[in-house]
Chain A
Amino acid sequence: MSQQTATHATDVVVRLAGESGEGVVSLGDLTVQMLSSLGLDIYTFQTFPAKIKGGTVMYQIRVHSGVTLSQGDGVDVLIALSKDGYDSFHMGMREDGILLYDSDAFTPPESPGRTEYGLPISTLANHEKQAIRSEVEGEQLKRLPPPKNIVGLGALMRLISAPLEPAEQYIRDLFGRKGEPIVRMNINALHVGAQHIEDQIGAKRTPHVYPVPVERERLTINGNQMLAIGALAAGCRFYAGYPITPASDIMEFLAKEMPKFGGELIQAEDEIAALGMCLGASFAGKKAMTATSGPGLSLMVEQINLGGQAEIPVVIADIQRGGASTGMPTKTSQGDLNLAVYGVHNESPRIVIAASSVEDCFWTSVDAFNLAEKYQCPVILLSDQALATRKCTIPMPELDKVRLEDRLKPTSEELSNGFRRFEITETGVSPMSIPGMAGGAYVSTGIEHDELSNPGYDPDLAQRMKAKRFLKLETLAKSEGASYYRLWGVKGHAKVGIIAFGSTEGVLRESTERAREEGYKVAHLHCRLINPLPVEAIKEFAARCDKILIPELNWSGQFGHWVRANTNIEYRAFAKDVGLPFAPNEIYNQIIELLAE
Chain B
Amino acid sequence: MPETAVSQQQYAPKDYKSSLKPIWCPGCGDFGVLNALYKAMSICGLSPEKTVIVSGIGCSSRLPGFVTTYGFHSVHGRALTIATGIKVSRPDLNVVVVGGDGDGYSIGAGHIPHTARRNPDITYLIMNNNVYGLTKGQVSPTSMVPMASLQANIDPKRWKTTPYGMTEDYINPIAMAIAYDISFVARGFSYRPNQLTEIIVAGLQHKGFSLIDAFSPCPTFNQDQTDDYYKEQTYDVPEDHDPTDRVKAFELALRTDGYPIGVIYRNDTKHSIMEEQAALKARFAGQPSGSVSALLHRFV
Contact A442 B70 (CB under 8 A): yes
Contact of B85 among A260, A278, A399 (CB under 8 A): A278
Among the 9-residue stretches A7-15, A261-269, A492-500, the one with 4 or more Cβ atoms under 8 Å from chain B is A261-269
B78 and A273 contacting across the interface, CB-CB below 8 Å: yes
Determine if A436 and B64 form an interchain contact, defined as CB atoms under 8 angstroms apart.
no
| B contact residues around A277 at 8 Å (CB) | 81-82, 84-85, 88
CB distance from A390 to the nearest CB of B (A): 14
Please, what's the 1-or-0 string for B47-83, where 1 marks a CB less than 8 Å from any CB in chain A? 0111110100000001011001111111100101111
Residue of A nearest to B85 (CB): A280
Give the most central of A229, A280, A286: most B CB within 10 Å: A280
* Cross-chain contact B49 with A399 (CB below 8 angstroms): no
A424 to chain B, nearest CB (A): 20
A442 and B284 in contact, given A276-B82, A454-B20 (Cβ under 8 angstroms):
no
Cβ contact within 8 Å between B75 and A306: yes
Stretch from A61-69, A213-221, A571-579 contacting the other chain? A213-221
Q: What A residues does B289 contact at CB under 8 A?
A: 260
Chain A residues with Cβ under 8 A from B292's Cβ? 229, 232-233, 399
Give the Cβ gap from B205 to chain A, nearest Cβ, in Å: 20
Interface residues of A in 282-319 (CB under 8 A from B): 282-286, 288, 302-303, 306, 310
Contacts of B150 in A (CB 8 A): none
Interface size of B by Cβ–Cβ distance < 8 Å?
Answer: 53
Separation of A260 and B292 alpha carbons in the complex (Å): 11
Q: Is the CB–CB distance between A280 and B72 below 8 Å?
A: yes
Determine which of B70, B85, B87, B284 lies in contact with A441 in the assembled complex, contact meaning CB atoms within 8 Å: B70
Are A396 and B300 within 8 A (Cβ)?
A: yes
Chain A residues within an 8 Å CB radius of B280? 259
- Which residues in A have their C-beta under 8 angstroms from that of B147? none
Could you say which of B89-97, B176-184, B229-237, B251-259 contacts chain A? Answer: B89-97
Bound CA–CA A281/B72 (angstroms): 12
| Shortest Cβ gap from B271 to chain A (Å) | 15
**Chain B residues near A115 (CB, 8 Å)?**
none
In the complex formed, the residue of B with least CB distance to A440 is: B49
Residues of B within 8 A of A446 (CB): 73-75
Q: Of B65, B86, B284, which is within 8 A of A260 by CB?
A: B284
Residue of A nearest to B112 (CB): A269
Q: How far is the CB of B183 from chain A (nearest CB, A)?
A: 18
Closest to B295 in A: A229
Chain A: CB-nearest residue to B5: A436
Interface size class of A (residues with CB under 8 A): 35 or more
Interface string of B101-144 (1 = CB under 8 A from A): 00000000011001000100000000000000000000000000
Q: Are B49 and A435 in contact (CB under 8 A)?
A: yes
Within the complex, the shortest CB–CB distance from A313 to chain B, in Å, comes to 13
Partner of B86, one of A259, A283, A454: A283
A280 to B95, CA, bound (A): 11
Contact B296 A281 (CB under 8 A): no
Contact A219 B300, beta carbon cutoff 8 Å: yes
Interface assignment of B151: CB less than 8 Å from any CB of chain A = no
Cα distance A298–B285 in the bound complex, in angstroms: 38
Determine the chain B residues whose CB is within 8 A of the CB of A264 once the complex forms: 88-89, 277
- A162 CB to closest chain B CB (Å) equals 20
Check if B50 sits within 8 Å of A279, measured CB to CB: no
Residue of B nearest to A439 (CB): B49
Contacting residue for A443 out of B49, B65, B75, B284, CB 8 A: B65
Q: Are B92 and A436 in contact (CB under 8 A)?
A: yes
The reply to whether A281 and B88 form a contact with Cβ atoms under 8 Å apart is: yes
Within 8 Å by CB of A266, from B64, B83, B273, B296, lies B273
- Whether A388 sits at the interface, judged by CB under 8 Å, is no
Given A285-B90, A396-B296, A454-B65, decide whether A266 and B284 contact each other with a Cβ distance below 8 A. no
- Given A259-B283, A435-B49, A280-B73 contact (CB < 8 Å): no
Q: A260-B284, A280-B81 are in contact. Are A219 and B75 (CB under 8 A)?
A: no
**Does B287 sit within 8 A of A, measured CB to CB?**
yes
A238 interface residue, CB < 8 Å from B?
Answer: yes
Partner of A219, one of B68, B92, B299: B299
Q: Which among B69, B70, B92 has the highest number of chain A CB atoms within 10 Å?
A: B70
Residues of B within 8 A of A261 (CB): 290
Residue A257 interfacial (CB < 8 Å): yes
Residues from chain A with a CB closer than 8 A to the CB of B277 are 259, 264
Q: Is A423 close to B, CB under 8 A?
A: no
Interface check A585, CB cutoff 8 A: no
B149 at the binding interface (Cβ < 8 Å): no
The answer to whether A443 touches B85, judged by C-beta atoms less than 8 angstroms apart, is no
Which residues in chain B, 12-68, are within 8 Å of chain A measured between CB atoms? 20, 48-52, 54, 62, 64-65, 68
12 cross-chain CB contacts under 8 A: A237-B89, A259-B280, A264-B89, A273-B84, A282-B85, A283-B52, A284-B89, A306-B75, A396-B300, A441-B68, A444-B71, A445-B72
B residues near A (Cβ < 8 Å) are: 20, 48-52, 54, 62, 64-65, 68-75, 78, 80-90, 92-93, 110-111, 114, 118, 273, 277, 280-281, 283-285, 287, 289-290, 292-293, 295-297, 299-300
Closest 10 A/B residue pairs (Cβ): A280-B85, A276-B81, A277-B85, A443-B71, A281-B89, A219-B299, A280-B82, A445-B73, A260-B290, A259-B280
Known: A257-B290, A276-B84, A435-B51; 16 extra A-B contacts, CB below 8 A, are: A218-B300, A229-B296, A272-B81, A276-B81, A280-B86, A283-B52, A283-B82, A284-B85, A303-B75, A399-B296, A435-B52, A436-B92, A439-B49, A440-B49, A443-B73, A447-B73
